[in-house]
Structure formats: C-alpha cells, structure tokens
Structure 1
Amino acid sequence: MGSIAAHSGISMSRRGFIGGAACGGGLAIVHPFTANAAAGQVHLRVMETTDLHMHIWPYDYYADRPDAAVGLARTATHVAAIRAEARNSLLLDNGDFLQGNPMGDYMAYDRGMLAGDRHPMITAFNTLGFDGATLGNHEFNYGLDFLLNSLAGAKFPLVLSNVVTERGASPLDDTTLLPPYVILDRVLLDGSGEGHPIRIGLIGFTPPQIMKWDRHHLEGRVTVRDIVDCARAYVPRMRAEGADIVIALSHSGIGAPEALEMMENASTALGAVPGIDAILAGHSHRVFPGPDYEGHAGVDVAGGTLQGTPAVMAGFWGSDLGVIDLLLERAGAGWRVAGHEVAIRPIAQRGGAGRAEALVPSDDRVLAVTQADHEATLDYVRRPVGRSDAPLHSYFALVADDPSVQIVNRAQKWYIEQMLEGTPYEDLPVLSAAAPFKAGGRGGPQYYTDVPAGDLAIRNIADLYLYPNTIRAVKVSGAQVREWLERAAGMFNQIAPGAVDQMLLDPDFPSYNFDVIDGLSYTIDLSQPSRYGRDGALLHPGAHRIVDLRHEGDRVKPDDGFVVATNNYRAAGGGDFPGADGDTIIFEGPDTNRDVIVRYIMERGTISPRADGNWRFAPMPGATVLFDSGPGAGAHAGAVPGMSISPAGQGPDGFDRFRIAL
C-alpha cells in the first residue's frame, strides 16, 4: 500500500472483473442484469461486509463453542457464489473489523502488532481478494500505532476522508490519516462480452464521535470532520478526476434525512449528496433493507434506497452479506446507473429453541490462514484467574439487581478508590456505574452471560465485559446522579397501574445504556413516562421515575458530591448521560475495565457475586409485566432476591417469556 498517511485521493489498477465461469462455458447461475444486459450495458455486483468485529471463525470465544450465526468464513461462501453469478463484482468492507471479540483483544493485548506483523483479519481479507475498505469507530480502540501496524499488510486500499492529521482551511486542504478516497481502474464486461474501462471511486467515513469515545488515543494526534461536509467536498473532486461512479463506504447508521453538524448516523443524509451512486451503511448492527427502517424519513425499504440512492447495511459479525446490483450504461463519455437491486444474504437462520442453523458452510481458505490465531485465542481465553462461589449470569440483568453487573461495579469501585488516595477527591463517596452488555436483544436468545460457579478464566471476564474500554472517574452532583439514573431508566416502557401482562422492556433501548449505579439505593416508578428518549433527549421534563434515592441511608441532595467510576465511552459522552460529557472527568486510568476486573478477582482468589438489591421497582398492586430472556433463565428465576418471577410461556425467536408481579 505504501504510506498510510495521504492528503489526496489515489488511483489504483488491479485485475479486471472477469470471472472464470464467464470466460469459459458460461455461468451456472446468472443474475437478470447480467442475462439481459445489452451491448454498452454493464452489470456490477457490489458486496458489503460490515461490523465484523473480529468474527472470522464461526465460534463464540466467550462461551467456548461453535456459533453458526457468525463469522467471515461463512460470509465468504456467499461471496464465492455471487462472483459466480455475474461477470463483474466488487468486495468491500465497511469498518469495525479489528475489535469486538477475544481474538481482537489477544492480538492487541497479548501478542501485539509490530510493523510488518500479520493481522488475522487483514490476512482473511487478502485471501478473499477484498477490493477496498474503510474504518469504523472501533478500529481506534487499541490506539493509532496498533491500527496502522495492523493495516500495513493490506493488499487492498483503505480510505477514510474525515479523520485528519493536519487540518487545512477546508477538507480538500487536509492531510488525512488514510487516503480520503481511491479511484479503481477496472475493465468490466458488458452484455455482449466486450470489456470497458470504468473508473470506480470509493470514499470512506467514520463517526466523528471517535474523538469522544477514544479521546485518550486520539487527542493531540488527529481531529475529525463532519461526514456530509467531507462528502460534499471530495465527491466533486473524485468526479473531476474521472470517477465514473462513486460508492460511499459509510460506517454510519441510517438516521435523519437532513444533514446535522457532526451527526453520528449520517448515511441517510449522504443519500442526498450529488454524485454518490451507492451507499454501504453500517455501525448500527442492523439490516437494510429490512423492517427496522419502515417509515423512516428519506428511506425506501422496498426500493432499497436512502433519498433515492441505492444502499445496503449487512448486519454484524458476518451475519449477512449485503449486495447492491448496479446496471450501468453509457452516458456520453461516461457511465450512469440505469437500474439497481439491493439484497441481503444471511449465513444462518433461527431454528428450534432459537438456535442458529447455518445456511452455508465455512470457506476452508479463511479457516486455514487464521487457524493458528484461532488456536492461540482459545489458549488465551481459557487461562484461569480465580474462582466464583456462585453463578454469574445476566438473564435478569435488565429487570433486577444482577450479579454479573455487581461484580463489574465492585471491581471499578475498588480500583478508583485506590487511585484517588492522596488526591483532593479522596474524601468523596465513590459510586460505580456499569451496564449489562450481553442481555439478549438482537444478539439472540443465547446472547447472555452464563458462568457456573467454579474457576474463572479470561474468557469469562471477557464475557462479563465485552469491550476494551478503559477506566475513568467523573465528579458529579447529587442532581446529576439522579438524572444519570433517569436516563438509564428509559429501558422500561411506561406501565399502567393495575394493568396485566404489559411488556416491560423497550426493545430499541440498548442494554449497554442501562447503567446500574452501585453505592446508592433507589426505586424506579414505572407508572411515570421516561424522562429521556432513547437518544438522551429530554422528553418529559415533569416526569421522575427515580424515587427514594439514598446514599448510606441518607437521601441524596442535589448539591451532594460524588465520584462515579465508569468507562471512557460513558465518561466522554457516549450515550448522552447527564453528568458525563467529557467535562466532569477527574481520573483517566491506563487500564481497561476488563483488566481491572481480572486484577480484582486475582487479588481475592474467590469472589462471591451476589446482588445486594440496591434498586427495585416501585410496587404497583395488581399490575404484572412480561419480559423475554434466554432458555437458561428458568433455572435461576427463583434465586432473584425480592422479586416474584414466573414462567409465562414462549417468546419470539427462541426466547422464553417471564412474568413479574409488581
């Protein structure tokens, strides 16, 4: 690739898209665009992977067992099939590929990456012949040196337009961390078999919020620009340099249609930027086209477009391959998009008891080139660090004080109390905020922490705390603590007094924003509407779900002072929690929250992870609520202190349903 840093686009020439089947006896399966293309018409298949999060093998390292629903190795089988169905294809990744499971952590923390080292994900991409990629926000979790060393072995271009090492008067004057765009020179076959030189522009974007989420890695080394501003600046230049079509690799979700300054989810707004012919979206871990986006402004689910521009979002962890089929035809001296189709190809489906059943086998080439890294990761996650004298599970983490969250909070509090000794903050009460990461939802009915009593290995700790966040502490007031908890209480639907069997949980509220704060006791009044919306906006100023908020038995007053142990994501503004916007940080630790938990367990040898019931729901006589949890939840339902939980039949997609009498 040459130098990673660049300030302008580059042009690259690689092989033409001439498949062996097309050159030989014909295609076994032919897409209609290929079958019906005339002379001067070209069918191009654009394939997307996104949010792989280091899932190369179909394996769950946390549970230490195969998982048919994940893995680039399975997605690769779809890639081979799609290449066989048309003469011309392009394979692109849309970011968040270096972090997300223990293999990623093993590479970053145990093995490390020096210049010239081989990273397994890059090796897999090279093996499959990827044509380009951009970076997601999680690429920055391990720091810039690790990132650039990992990318150095890529045999394909990586583009990113809005992360800047030297800022100019406009985006066009910037020096960017990676080339902002690339123009690929290709020879594509038309319907008559004649080859045509076509120039394909790729431009990449990542959420500007990386400067909040990974400030400790990035501050002083890079800055960010707005996604849409960069697109408006660079796309005309790409066209002027001869790009016949432009594809946006947007590691950004499907959000509002109007361009808002520094928006995180900008893919819909990109659809209105002139000169972009197709959008690969991501970041949100959802599927588009799909029902999640029905009724969204600027979104046509049936047509697979964002403000009229063809777009796709291919799930997460390799769950799906996204495909945009473009029919190109000559327009004067250039080419234009004359038609399109958008499709999703899943690698698995839910079968009995909600378990994933593979729809395609793994590609042996991907498994072979990453076998050694897979086995090293297994050794890494199986190392024992201590013992637990009680089970650790998250089946009820969204409805009751929970041992899996409790142990995280205890470890964070233990660490921060030591770090504040001898500082001006040492006499302030230390609280701790943590959320359940594995709590079902889109991850499916098996996506729960479930660690039996006994030895605890690194894989168990990684199971408790999925992300490589680093430890932080913030100083907040009693009023801010209350609002922090009000924001977290948006997890719950409003419950009508006396009503029977209402659904308790808002399925669109992410579990990682359901913070439980240890060191306080409090009650949640479900009869009140949520004070805050899912995005953190104040919705109901007169509503208060958090009642009877106490510290060591005393009511918390608005001007009380506290230190809250948390992580870099939350402390820097992730989730838009009151009291956590980057300005209240008093301590930035060098250690990951995961390492803090490991040290806490190693120091104690044996832990007793029992919830202390510091939060509860306010009584609502006659009212019952329903929630869904994993199939393993039933064995633990009777052990939740202070709560009556009973089975209520089957939920959707393999979940079990439970009832709580309030």
Structure 2
Amino acid sequence: MRKLFLTVLVVISLAVLVLATQVNLSIMHTSDIHGNVFPVDYATGKSSAVGLAKVSTLLKEMRKSNPYTLAIDTGDLIQGTPLAYYYAKVDSSGENPMIAALNHMGFIASVIGNHEFNYGPSILERAIDEADFPVLSANIVFESSGEAAFTPYIIVEVPVEGDTVRVGVLGLTTSFIPNWEEPKNIAGLSFLDPVSTALEYVPQLREKVDVLVVAYHGGFERDLKTGAPTEELLGENVGYQILKEVKGIDVLLTGHQHRTIAEVIDGTVISQPSNWGKVAGKIDLVLEKNNGKWEIVDRSIVQVSMAGYEADSALMAMFQSFEDRVQKWLDQPVGIAIGDFYIDDPLVARLADNTLIEFVNRVQSSVTGAPISSVALFTNDIKGWKTGPITIRDINAVYIYPNTLKVIKVTGADIKAALEKSAEYFTYEDGEIVVTNSWINPKPLHYNYDMWEGIEYIVAADRPVGERVLSIRFMGKPLEMDGEYEVVLNNYRAGGGGGYTMFQGKPVVREVMLEVSEIIANYVLERVAVSATLDHNWSVGTGFIHTVGWNETLRTISEMYGIDASDIMKYNPDLKRVERIPAGTKIIIYKPALEEVPVM
C-alpha cells in the first residue's frame, strides 16, 4: 500500500544570477475535490463553477506569476461524482482520472482522506501506484507492525537562484475513519491520534526544513480566534488542537468539513478551500535569508473562487472520451421500478406520505440500521421516476446534495420539536393549507421541511405554531418524550442545520460517509428491482384535541363534528370504551388534507 517519497527535488527552470536574499513562495491548496474534474453538476447536468479543470487554470496563472509555486491536495479526491463511481465500479481499465489530473497539474502531494477508502483497498492501492506524487498520512499505520502504511511526509527542495528552500509537508488524516468506513475496507490498519503524531514528527521536520506545512484531512469545531465551540462534528476538535498544541507549524492545510477558511493565527497560515474545487487556497510566503537561514517575514492567504475562471481545455481533453462514456452510462438502466416513485405535485408530496420519500427513508434505515429516518424533498423540481428503468442520473436528480448520513441518539421530545419545526412550513389561510411565505420568500427553503419514516404522526396545520403535532407513535405506542431513540439524518440536519437546534450536540452513534446518492445507487444495483411502497404513516391536515364531556359517546362526538366514528378511532387507537368514554379523556379530532390513495 505504501509508495515512499521522503524527499523530492522540484526542478524549476530559472536563470541563475546571484544568490537570493529574498524569495516569494506560493502554495495552491485544494481539498475535498470528490471526483470533480469537469465544470458540471452531475445532479442537474448544468455547468457549474467546480472541478480541477478550472483549478488548473488558476494554477497556471499562479505559476506564470510566480514560478516558485507548489500545489498540495488534502484528500477526499477519488470519490464523489458519477465519474469517480464509474471508474471504481464499472470501468477501471485506464488510469484513475483524478490521479491522472493531479499528475498532469504537477501536484507535489496529496493526503489520504476518509473517502479514499470507500471503494476498497485495491482501488486505493492502484491510485497510489499511479500517482507521480506521494499520498501522505503519518498517523495511519499497519495494525501488525505499527509502521506507517503510507508515506508520512515529503521534503521538497526548491532551487532559488543559486540557493535552495526546503519545504516539509507532513500528512495527517482524521482518526475517526473506523466510525464511518466498512471494516473490510480498512482491515489491518490502525488510525493513531493526529495530534500525538504531529507532536512526534513536527520537531524532527522543523530541524530539516525552512518551511513546515502540516496537511491535515480534518477540520475544526472551534472558532480559530476565540476557541468558542462552533460545529459539533465528530473528531473535529483535532484541527484546533494541532493549531494550539503543536509548535513550529508555518502552514496548516485542512479539509473534510467543506468550509472556506483563510486565516493567519499566531503566525500560522490556515486554509480550508471548501469542496469540489469551488475555490482554491492561494498562500503566499515571503522568505528572507538571514545569517545563512531562510525565515518567513510575511505571509498571506486568500480563497479564490473558480466562478471567474475558464476550464483548462487541455486538461478536459485528456478525459473527454471517459466523460462521454460516463454521460452515456448515466442514462443506462441500473434497476427496475415496480410502481411509481414519482412526484406530480410537490405540495401534495409534502402533505402526506409518498412513495419516493418513503423509499429514500427506507434506504437510509436499511444502510444504517436506525429504525427512524427523515429526509426532505429538496426542491420543487425533483420528480423521481415512474414504473420501469431507473438510471444513475435519475438517482442523482433525486438526491442533489453531497450529504452523508449520521445516526444520532435523541429523545422523544427532540423528535416532537423537530416535527413542530417542520410543521411551520404550512399556514392555514381561507380554509386552505398553503406554504408559509417566509419559507419561499426571499428564497425557497423546501429542503428544511422533513418527512419521517419509522414513526406515525399527524400534523394539524390550522393549530398554533408549536402545537401542531397531534400524535406521534412508535411501534404502535405513543412516543415517550423522555425515551431515547436512534434516528438517521443527513449530516447537515444532524448538526442542527436549517434551524433544527434540537439535534445539535446529540451523541453520534454511527456514520456512513458515502454520499446518499451513492448509497441509493448501491441499494438499487444490489436489488435490481425495487417496489414502491406506501404505509401512510404520516399526513398533514386540520384538527384539534377534544376534551370529552359528561356522558359523551363516540356517536355523539362523531355527530358533533361531522366525522365518521371510524376516523375518530383511527386517530385514537388507544381509545377502548366507545359507548361511555370517561369525562376528561383527550381525543384527537383530525381530518387529513388528502385522502389516502393506495400505492399501485
């Protein structure tokens, strides 16, 4: 698995004039490229300001301006798009396109990210063998020997006008991979604490180099300046610990969180360039030779958006035939739908259980083992598919975001609060249930309205906000407000995204770090045929809680509200005595907005 590159000589052609006393060194930083070469959104098929082809144009510009430019990637490179999936699962006869792209662009190093393991050891080992640069990680070791499984670091010698600047790059990877990855994909490996590993290596490297870069596939859950908590992400206190506890680091390159960070803290340059190649970090260091030693006298960083850059046509030409095969494959069937998984009307789909949302929730529960799941219909343009062939493009068009899955432990009260939050999506006006204006203006927030599977619930849109969920049941019994339940959500929602603060800081039971679109694709590929199901476990309508008066019966209550007695029983399954209901009993009076239609 290991391909050693402990020292690399970077040859930069320059006329040697006199010994340099000052030099400007630039570093371009990418991370979480996730299989993006072309400037295209595979979910929609439209052009997008992403991908290595655009980054390549920036890199050429940087090198033209400053030949002392190094390019470093911090992981999650070979997984994430249909292009990467096609290479790993369908046709790996040629070079890995992601590795070939970095080879062509002249990267000096990449770091092992957690997603590098997703396709198994053979794909990863082959990628490392094909790379003209080292793939780094000092804290991943062989379980049997404790030796580094990958190249721990690289020392690059940059010739500058008769002298040499030595740049050390130490690679580190989040140690939480065993919480996410399939055990077979990481068999025989141990993941050591990155902070302890950095404390071991940094002092050794500091003595050998003029510039020390730590390239860490991981991030932060604390504000870099104040130390205050920001995001509750499993294991991501590590980046902050490295910054504060490991002395001697000039540049800290990070990733994993898909955040955009450009800071200089206590002399350390910190970079995180979002994801997919949307932006790239541009770090500039000014070095002066004093008393025979190079010292950094100035440093700066910016994150450069790719929106203003044209894609490198030469780079795209290298992979165009492969991309053409990918696009053709996207429209080939990978499974068969038995029944319609289709959204005719997005409002209707959000008013009652539907086959598409139920399917996605069932897939999430299946892959994680969590009994309760929730997901959103992200936009009004999502349709799904009808009876017949299902393509990868169909799947990518349904789950359009690069979310992964988290199983968190919550209380029944948390679930109730989340349902109430979603119920704010609706307003009852002039006898109709409509979408609340603030959820669609100034921009649509449909992705923040969740629908659940694994519980049974009803929502009365005409009730006051915070009092709309009339009933929640789990496995045939009322949900216990102080009970604990495992729920699978996407990583955005599990972190409290969309205003779901009730999920912030909850214990993470397990995670699946594949993107949900890939999870759905694998599910369909494994089963070939998938059947549409509809258990009608939830709906939105109108209603309230009736307190039974003296001598009231089911018949008199039914007549009072003009509702069939069978409907009252349906929404009050714990009601046993129907002739003489004890006074003071609370009964749900509810009418769904839509009639239940059996799935075909």
> Common fold, TM-score beyond 0.5?
yes
How far 1:366 moved relative to its partner?
1.6
Deviations 1:50-92 (A, max 9, x none): 11110111122232x2423111111111111111011310011
- Which residue number corresponds to residue 435 of structure 1? 375
CA distance in structure 2 between the aligned counterparts of 1:280 and 1:408, rounded to whole angstroms:
36
- Counterpart of 1:226, as a letter, is D
Aligned partners of 2:71 and 2:107 also within 8 Å: yes
- Which residue number corresponds to residue 181 of structure 1? 153
Q: Which deviates more, 219-228 or 124-133?
A: 219-228
- Which residue number corresponds to residue 123 of structure 1? 100
- Which residue number corresponds to residue 460 of structure 1? 394
Aligned match of 1:111 in 91, 104, 112? 91
- Counterpart of 1:108, as a letter, is A
Aligned: 1:15 with 2:10: yes
Aligned partners of 2:373 and 2:454 also within 8 Å: yes
For 1:377-456, list aligned pairs within 5 A. Answer: 377-384=326-333, 385-386=335-336, 389=340, 391-392=342-343, 403=354, 404-411=356-363, 431-436=371-376, 439=378, 449-451=382-384, 456=390
- Which residue number corresponds to residue 585 of structure 2? none
- Which residue number corresponds to residue 623 of structure 1? none
Aligned partners of 2:395 and 2:520 also within 8 Å: no
Aligned partners of 1:214 and 1:569 also within 8 Å: no
Aligned partners of 1:57 and 1:73 also within 8 Å: yes
Tell me the SS of whatever aligns to 1:197. strand
- Which residue number corresponds to residue 368 of structure 1? 317
- Which residue number corresponds to residue 579 of structure 2? none
Tell me the SS of whatever aligns to 2:2. coil
How far 1:406 moved relative to its partner?
2.1
- Which residue number corresponds to residue 598 of structure 2? none
Aligned: 1:80 with 2:60: yes
For 1:461-500, list aligned pairs within 5 A. Answer: 461-465=395-399, 483=414
For 1:235-634, list aligned pairs within 5 A. Answer: 235-240=202-207, 242-256=208-222, 257=224, 263-272=235-244, 273-289=246-262, 304-348=263-307, 359-384=308-333, 385-386=335-336, 389=340, 391-392=342-343, 403=354, 404-411=356-363, 431-436=371-376, 439=378, 449-451=382-384, 456-465=390-399, 483=414, 516-521=452-457, 548-551=471-474, 554-557=477-480, 581-582=509-510, 592-598=519-525, 602-604=529-531, 607=532, 612=536, 614=538
Aligned partners of 1:162 and 1:176 also within 8 Å: yes
Residues 473 and 125 (structure 1), Cα distance of their counterparts in 2 relative to 1, 3 Å cut: closer
Aligned partners of 1:398 and 1:511 also within 8 Å: no
Deviations 1:421-462 (A, max 9, x none): xxxxxxxxx9452434x847xxxxx9x745465753122124
Residues 311 and 449 (structure 1), Cα distance of their counterparts in 2 relative to 1, 3 Å cut: farther
Aligned match of 1:43 in 16, 19, 24? 24
- Which residue number corresponds to residue 576 of structure 2? none
Aligned match of 1:234 in 185, 192, 201? 201
CA distance in structure 2 between the aligned counterparts of 1:204 and 1:379, rounded to whole angstroms:
37
Aligned partners of 1:100 and 1:466 also within 8 Å: no
Tell me the SS of whatever aligns to 2:136. coil
How far 1:23 moved relative to its partner?
5.4
Deviations 1:218-263 (A, max 9, x none): 56422212222221211111123x1111111122223325699983
Tell me the SS of whatever aligns to 1:313. strand
CA distance in structure 2 between the aligned counterparts of 1:391 and 1:471, rounded to whole angstroms:
23
Q: Any stretches of 5+ residues in structure 2 without a counterpart?
A: 430-435, 495-502, 513-517, 545-591, 595-600
CA distance in structure 2 between the aligned counterparts of 1:147 and 1:218, rounded to whole angstroms:
10
Deviations 1:616-643 (A, max 9, x none): 69999xxxxxxxxxxxxxxxxxxxx849
Structure ID, larger Rg: 2
Aligned partners of 2:407 and 2:509 also within 8 Å: no
TM-score normalized with structure 1 length:
0.64
Tell me the SS of whatever aligns to 1:4. coil
How far 1:279 moved relative to its partner?
1.6
CA distance in structure 2 between the aligned counterparts of 1:546 and 1:565, rounded to whole angstroms:
20
- Counterpart of 2:112, as a letter, is L
CA distance in structure 1 between the aligned counterparts of 2:446 and 2:250, rounded to whole angstroms:
32
Tell me how large the CA RMSD over aligned residues is: 5.0
How far 1:392 moved relative to its partner?
4.5
Tell me the SS of whatever aligns to 1:408. helix
CA distance in structure 1 between the aligned counterparts of 2:194 and 2:352, rounded to whole angstroms:
40
Q: Any stretches of 5+ residues in structure 1 without a counterpart?
A: 25-36, 169-173, 189-193, 290-303, 349-358, 421-429, 441-445, 529-543, 586-590, 621-640, 644-662
Residues 38 and 470 (structure 1), Cα distance of their counterparts in 2 relative to 1, 3 Å cut: closer
Aligned partners of 1:431 and 1:564 also within 8 Å: yes
- Which residue number corresponds to residue 552 of structure 2? none
Tell me the SS of whatever aligns to 2:90. helix
- Counterpart of 1:251, as a letter, is H
CA distance in structure 1 between the aligned counterparts of 2:30 and 2:23, rounded to whole angstroms:
23
Aligned partners of 1:320 and 1:346 also within 8 Å: yes
- The number of residue pairs the alignment matches comes to 512
CA distance in structure 1 between the aligned counterparts of 2:328 and 2:7, rounded to whole angstroms:
40
Deviations 1:249-281 (A, max 9, x none): 122223325699983253343333211111222
How far 1:394 moved relative to its partner?
11
> How many percent of aligned residue pairs carry the same amino acid?
24
CA distance in structure 2 between the aligned counterparts of 1:468 and 1:374, rounded to whole angstroms:
20
Deviations 1:458-510 (A, max 9, x none): 22124435799999999x9xx86665676798889999xx9x966799x9x99
Residues 152 and 485 (structure 1), Cα distance of their counterparts in 2 relative to 1, 3 Å cut: farther
How far 1:107 moved relative to its partner?
1.8
- Which residue number corresponds to residue 34 of structure 2? 53
CA distance in structure 1 between the aligned counterparts of 2:446 and 2:186, rounded to whole angstroms:
28
